[in-house]
Amino acid sequence: MDYETIQVEQRGAVTLITLDRPKALNALNAQVLTDLLAALAALDADHSQGCAVLTGSDKAFAAGADIKEMSGMDFAAMYGSDHFSGYDRLVQTRKPVIAAVAGYALGGGCELAMMCDFILAADTAKFGQPEIKLAVSPGMGGSQRLTRAVGKAKAMEMCLTGRMMDAGEAERAGLVSRVIPAAELIDEAVKTAAVIAGMAPIAVKANKEMVNAAFETGLTAGVQFERRLFHGLFGTADQKEGMAAFVEKRPGNWTGK
């Protein structure tokens, strides 16, 4: 399939999606959303693919929502079209998506990275919610996801001042899982995605769903949800295979059933 604003490449069982609007530092316009939704729907539908990596360029993962596209819009246009609400569908992707962030991840770019299942950051990465400088605010979940990721103090400071966090600070604050030298970012992200793609597919979906549930539920309900999904995995052929393979000291051979 051809896309206008992204490049999609399959590397084994890993789908590598690269934002491709270099002249606008990968600013997110309506077409990017359309392309991303199509690429992630294709990922979910393709049994040969187990995990995606979403990345940008060396200079920018994405420098935010497209300010030029938004600047002329009024309340009726924004509210009437529920502008960018399609990103809610993006987070419903059932296979894991890893954000591999180098350079700027600002505004909607930071929010897009946080919609992924986890973030691997190059040592050049810079995260920020600078919308306040434009007299607006995060609008794709940043005020909520950043606060859950790094806590109120840092999230509030970043949203109110627009200051950026470098990769080291982002790792210490829990926004990213690991910092990687920029030159190795894509290879390391694809390697990590390949590890995930090599796991039993139903178990991958269940693990993703239960970790995400921690954001939506209280502890007792979350633990209960986890336990029920754990019980459910004992209804899969891959659970039998996985435990037999352990006992027989061999790799598991997954059927996705």
**What is the contact surface with ligand CO8 in residues (CB under 6 A)?**
24-25, 27, 63-68, 83-84, 104, 106-108, 130-131, 134, 138-140
Catalytic residue among 27, 105, 111, 142: 111
**Least distance from C-beta 158 to ligand CO8, angstroms?**
12
Distance of CA 131 to the CA centre of its chain: 20
Nearer to ligand CO8, 56 or 139 (CB): 139
In the numeric block, the tokens 């309900």 are attached to 221
User: Is 65 known to be catalytic?
Assistant: yes
Nearer to ligand CO8, 139 or 242 (CB): 139
> Any residues with CB less than 8 A from the CB of 33 and at least 6 apart, and which?
84, 86, 87, 90
User: Is 111 known to be catalytic?
Assistant: yes
- Going by the DSSP 8-state scheme, the letter that residue 65 receives in this structure is B
**Least distance from C-beta 165 to ligand CO8, angstroms?**
14
**Least distance from C-beta 55 to ligand CO8, angstroms?**
17
User: Is 69 known to be catalytic?
Assistant: no
> Any residues with CB less than 8 A from the CB of 58 and at least 6 apart, and which?
102, 103, 122, 124, 182
Nearer to ligand CO8, 66 or 117 (CB): 66
Residue in 1, 33, 40 with CA at minimum distance from that of residue 17? 40
Nearer to ligand CO8, 134 or 156 (CB): 134
Neighbouring C-alpha atoms within 13 Å toward the C-beta of 103: 17
Q: Which residues are catalytic?
A: 65, 108, 111, 131
